[in-house]
Amino acid sequence: MGKFQIFTLAGAIVIVLLLFFGFEYKPNKIINLEKSRSNNLEVTGIENLIVTARESLSLEEMKTLEAMQAATKDSTVVSKIESTKAYASKWYELGYPVISAYYAEEVAKVDKSADSWAIAGTSYILGLKSSEQEKEKEFAFNRAITAFENAISLDPENVNHQINLSLVYVEKPLSDNPMKGILMLRDLNKKYPENASVMVQLARLAIKTGQWDRAQERLEQALKIDGNNRQANCLMAEVMTNKGESDLAKPFIDICNAE
């Protein structure tokens, strides 16, 4: 076999092998395009939510939203934040909490404060609770986690951000770790035994499962720390009423209903 035939045969073998194993090497342009497509998956998600929402909106509502969206393009940071807040509020008013939460997140990206990220996360929790679509729930779930993680990184001493993060997992338990949210709350209770808010959330979970005595115990602990805690008083009123102790519920009801 001549040199030319050897080179030809070798070249053919290389081509066959490359075709068979699927070209492991990818030019940077293709890699960057794939990354771009991956990063745009969630953006497409919010766009789909907006498209679906618009099908149920009136012409007047559409015009109002378009005008408010145009205002969010303002170059001044303060003006952009305020107009985007208003735009988010309008979506919530119209009954689309997940879309509202998305724009609350846009505010947080500009404002860059722990409070803004916490508001975005809380907004996503509201969307998570109210949504009936699994894809929409998943979108809200993932975004809520990111929002509260950002809030925690900016303000690690604020226990409320950590509580709210645990509540995301409580609201939508992981299939491979369904107790994660509850365990996070228990860990916070060990770390901050004098925090009434942690105890209130643990009491709320006990109420959901009908553990009235356990809920009462948690709420009594919370009220020893903060007797005027409105959530604790409202829940204690509920516990006492369900235990058939309406007379004992009355003082808690009074504080619960106080402005």
Using left for φ > 0, alpha for ψ between -120 and 50, and beta otherwise, residue 84 falls in alpha
Residue 162 neighbours by CB under 8 Å, 6+ apart = 148, 152, 184, 188
Query: Which residue's entry shows tokens 């035994």?
Result: 193
Please state the pTM of the whole predicted model.
Answer: 0.79
CA separation (Å) from 126 to 28, 92, 99, 137? 41, 10, 11, 10
CATH topology of domain 43-158: 1.25.40
The closest of 155, 229, 225 to 195, measured between CA atoms, is 225
Q: What are 51's two structure tokens?
A: 């498209």
Cα–Cα distances in Å, from 175 out to 27, 170, 179, 180? 38, 12, 9, 10
> Which pair of tokens denotes residue 78?
């303060």
Residue 15 vs residues 2, 6, 10, 25: alpha-carbon distances, Å: 20, 14, 9, 14
pLDDT of the chain, 259 residues: tens digit per residue: 544 344 344 444 333 333 333 433 444 433 343 443 334 344 447 999 999 999 999 999 999 999 999 999 877 899 999 999 999 999 999 999 999 999 999 999 999 999 999 999 999 999 999 998 898 999 999 999 999 999 999 999 999 999 999 999 999 999 999 999 999 999 999 999 999 999 999 999 999 999 999 999 999 999 999 999 999 999 999 999 999 999 999 999 999 998 6
Give dist(CA 97, CA 138) in Å, integer. Answer: 14
For the chain, the domains span 1-39, 43-158
Chain-centroid distance, C-alpha 247: 39
